[in-house]
Amino acid sequence: MTTSISATEVGLPPAPPEETARRRFTEIVAPYAYIAPFFVLFAVFGLIPLLFTFYVALFDWNPIGEHVFVGLDNFSRLAGDVRFWNAARNTVSIWLLSTVPQLLIALVLAHLLNHVRLRLALFFRMTMLVPYITSVAATAIVFAQMFDRDYGLLNWLLGLMGFEHIDFTQSVVGSHVLIAVMVTWRWFGYTALLYLASLQAVPRAIYEAAAVDGAGGVRQFRHISLPALRPVIVFTIVTSTIGGLQIFTEALLINRGAPNTCGPIRQCQTLTLFLFEQGFTQFKFGYAAAIGVALFVMVVALAGLNYFLSTRIRPVKG
Amino acid sequence: MAACSGSSSETSSGGSDSKSFEFWSFTGINAKGSAEEYKKIRPDVEIKLTEVGNAQETAQALTTALAGGKVPDLVLIQGDDLPKFVQQPQNFVDLRTMGADKIKGDYLDWVISQSTTKDGAIIGIPTDVGGMAIAYRADLFKEAGLPTDREEVGKLWPTWDAFIETGKKYTAATGKAFIDNAGGSIYSQVVNQGDQKYYDPAGNLVYEQSPQAKTAFDLALKAVAAGITAKQSTFTEGWSAAMKRGDFAVVSAPVWLLGSIRDNAPDTAGKWDIATIPGGSGNWGGSFLAIPKGAKNPQAAWDYIAATQSPQGQLDHFAQARSLPSTPSVYQDPKLTSVKDPFFSGAPIGTIYTNSLLGLKPFVIGPDSTTIGIEFTNAIANVEQGKGDPAKAWDAAVTNIKNAIGG
């Protein structure tokens, strides 16, 4: 890289040659030094483990025994493994059931919290974070008790109203709903605050002008809030895709009778739980790594697809 | 995390520091108490005890530690997790080099054989075994018009069929469930009562043809069909709640389950009693102490094993923590036979549980035994929850097992 403009041409006094060289060197190096910490940390804790996972996936890898190279065998076995496809289905189902309501609730809440005449606004905004800072394990235990078949609060209420008890943890749909409720409960406040932060950047005057023009709350939401939120919505969709596909603790804890499979017929075993089962109870690290790679590909593909779609779908103008 | 203190530097070359060692145990077996006892005879030794988690979590942590190279000096491994480690004996100190040859005769031979490799190396010393019995609610039996005395109750069920018949009577009289679940209280007991479980004596997988597994499976389904189970999986919230409320009257209780009953339902103290298990004998569980190959202070760890796992040491630990000795020479000792548990109406648990071991036929436990057991009990649970077809359950379980251990 050579520059065609010299210091004298832009009106600066000529520097001694060795000083120019040194300054040029530091100017080139300094920015890289500033950004280096992130990339070094990313390499050590992100990239190297990732590459190592790809490597392990090519082996029949017993953590305390032999490592036998098997090429792509783990992947071909994975493709024919009903348990893998079951886990993939469960994961996508739970992800959809949790992400869609979560983002919608957060959107509406953020809009309400941004209202000018809301009393105790700060209090309400802070309470949004309570579910998020509660430990996942505590959340899962409390929800599992509330949704218990025989002794849960929810089924007790259903019973009072004359309905049959619902067996949340043992049925496919029930367990997915239960996990989705937990995930939604945990994340909606966090997402709502992200939206709120973005909304606060919109000048009040715009809302006031809209109100003067006769636009009600719903119209204001659609035509002012939503367009303003578009970038952060894209962001939350991508991050919740990444998070949603990695659901683990909730699924692990709601079915403690058969924890690693999340129930007798693997009805809510997610991909991460399947990975954990293979790696840490079966000691099949190679197979577990192959599941990890498959999960990685899925996350990248879905996050990319979501980004593609959500940047193209624009709010209706009108 | 250099485990040894700086003063004694030459840890790697023979002159090992036997004044301290790092010990990984799991919760619920009172390793702390055992360590404190040891401090009384060896006040000069420092034990760095970590209760890693439950038995399975401890085995997982050990696996990671062995793979990563930072290992404790001493580790407790549950019997069900042991075969995977026995298959990779290069990770452990062959305890014969420390003197295990001289003491191996102290232990039940079928138990110490579980930690002995094909070449004869001994990688673990058995700390306890899992004798079996039935815990029942005497007060609820009385309400149902059944006998309450533990001798009489034991006579109600010489066989598992008689056990299920008793259950039907109980359920008919009270309208309530008899047992907690069929997988835990029937299948897992029956399958541990034969001379062959999932492997033949040569170590080949035979779960599909195993008469014991099939018998256990069919009995469990029979109990489900009889409508005597509460459909509460062991160790879940519903299980604890049902136990507190007396919504089932009977739990098959290997000796290590007694603590869970006590902790889960403290208000039911004195209402429980213990009777013999149908079929009379059986073993489920037990643990082993092992020294990883990379241990910094194997000698200190071995000194601990030798002192605490002697017949006398195990006897003391039983009196204190209820873990059943794996050393048959103490089974007649008054210190064992006189132990009565007030929570269980003063049942002589020492005698009841050791008796269940005496008629025992040993069987081979292999690296996939746990997985196979889980798939069988899952298939039973699926029928129990009303989702699975009992006629197809066995085949479904076999398919799942093939998938799980082949994949």
Single-letter residue type at B62: L
Q: What pLDDT is recorded for position A208?
A: 87
What tokens appear for B142 in the block?
Answer: 């009385």
**Residues composing chain B:** 407
Do residues B16 and B43 lie in contact, with contact meaning Cβ atoms separated by under 8 Å? no
Q: What single-letter DSSP state applies at residue A221?
A: I
Nearest to A263 by CA among A144, A139, A101: A144
Question: What whole-number distance in Å separates Cα of residue A283 and Cα of residue A262?
Answer: 19
Q: Closest to B67 (Cβ–Cβ): which among A63, A149, A261?
A: A63
Do residues B99 and B307 lie in contact, with contact meaning Cβ atoms separated by under 8 Å? no
Contact B63 A63 (CB under 8 A): yes
Question: What whole-number distance in Å separates Cα of residue B18 and Cα of residue B226?
Answer: 59
Packing angle, helices A285-312 and A226-244, rounded to 10: 170
Q: What is the pTM of this model?
A: 0.84
Q: What pLDDT is recorded for position B9?
A: 37
Do residues B58 and B76 lie in contact, with contact meaning Cβ atoms separated by under 8 Å? yes
Q: Is the pLDDT of residue B3 over 60?
A: no
Query: Which of the residue ranges A13-22, B52-61, B328-337 would you say has the lowest mean pLDDT?
Result: A13-22
Question: What whole-number distance in Å separates Cα of residue A146 and Cα of residue A135?
Answer: 17
Q: Is the pLDDT of residue A1 over 50?
A: no
Question: What whole-number distance in Å separates Cα of residue A25 and Cα of residue A175?
Answer: 60
Q: Closest to B84 (Cβ–Cβ): which among A82, A265, A283?
A: A283
Q: What pLDDT is recorded for position B2?
A: 37
Q: How far is CA B46 from the centre of its chain?
A: 29
Task: Work out the average pLDDT over B186-198.
Answer: 93
Measured between beta carbons, the chain A residues lying within 8 angstroms of B188 are: none
**CB contact set of A43 (below 8 Å; sequence gap of 6+):** none
Task: Work out the average pLDDT over A188-196.
Answer: 92
Question: Which residue does chain B place closest to A82, by CA atoms?
Answer: B403
Q: What single-letter DSSP state applies at residue B179?
A: B
Whole-number Cα distances in Å, A254 to A83, A132, A180, B368, B369 = 19, 19, 12, 25, 25
Contact A258 B84 (CB under 8 A): no
Q: What pLDDT is recorded for position A129?
A: 87
Single-letter residue type at A212: V
Question: What whole-number distance in Å separates Cα of residue A110 and Cα of residue B312?
Answer: 68
Round the average pLDDT of chain B to a whole number and report it.
Answer: 91
Q: What pLDDT is recorded for position A11?
A: 61
B216-258 pLDDT per residue, tens = 999 999 999 999 999 999 888 889 999 999 999 999 999 989 9
Contact A282 B371 (CB under 8 A): yes
Q: How many CB atoms lie within 10 A of CB A123?
A: 9
Q: Which of A150, A154, A178 to mutate to test the interface with B (most CBs of B within 10 A)?
A: A150
**Which residues on neighbouring strands pair with residue B329, listed in sequence order?**
none
Question: Which residue does chain A place closest to B382, by CA atoms?
Answer: A264
Q: Closest to B378 (Cβ–Cβ): which among A144, A261, A287?
A: A261
Q: Which of B117, B224, B236, B403 to mutate to test the interface with A (most CBs of A within 10 A)?
A: B236
Q: Is the pLDDT of residue A2 over 50?
A: no
Q: How many CB atoms lie within 10 A of CB A237?
A: 20
Q: Is the pLDDT of residue A18 over 50?
A: yes
Do residues B26 and B52 lie in contact, with contact meaning Cβ atoms separated by under 8 Å? yes
3-state secondary structure of B293: coil
Question: Which residue does chain B place closest to A254, by CA atoms?
Answer: B236
Q: Closest to B88 (Cβ–Cβ): which among A65, A151, A167?
A: A65
Task: Work out the average pLDDT over B147-152.
Answer: 96
Higher pLDDT, B163 or B194: B163
B1: pLDDT confidence band, cut at 50, 70 and 90?
very low
Q: Closest to B236 (Cβ–Cβ): which among A256, A261, A281?
A: A256
B300-343 pLDDT per residue, tens = 999 999 999 999 999 988 888 888 999 999 999 999 999 999 99
The nearest CA of chain B is from the CA of A281 a distance in Å of 7
Higher pLDDT, A3 or A272: A272
The separation between the first and the last C-alpha atoms of chain A, rounded to the nearest angstrom, is: 50
B10: pLDDT confidence band, cut at 50, 70 and 90?
very low
B349-361 pLDDT per residue, tens = 999 999 999 878 8
Question: What whole-number distance in Å separates Cα of residue B83 and Cα of residue B193?
Answer: 19
Measured between beta carbons, the chain A residues lying within 8 angstroms of B242 are: 150-151
Nearest to B383 by CA among A175, A170, A145, A152: A170
Do residues B104 and B306 lie in contact, with contact meaning Cβ atoms separated by under 8 Å? no
Measured between beta carbons, the chain A residues lying within 8 angstroms of B293 are: none
B13: pLDDT confidence band, cut at 50, 70 and 90?
very low
Q: Is the pLDDT of residue A7 over 60?
A: no
**Which residues on neighbouring strands pair with residue B302, listed in sequence order?**
none
Q: Is the pLDDT of residue A16 over 80?
A: no
Q: What pLDDT is recorded for position B28?
A: 78
B5: pLDDT confidence band, cut at 50, 70 and 90?
very low
Do residues B112 and B122 lie in contact, with contact meaning Cβ atoms separated by under 8 Å? yes
Do residues A116 and A204 lie in contact, with contact meaning Cβ atoms separated by under 8 Å? yes
Query: Which of the residue ranges A118-127, A133-142, A206-215, B155-164 would you say has the lowest mean pLDDT?
Result: A118-127
Structural element, H or E, at residue B129: strand B125-131
Task: Work out the average pLDDT over A178-193.
Answer: 93
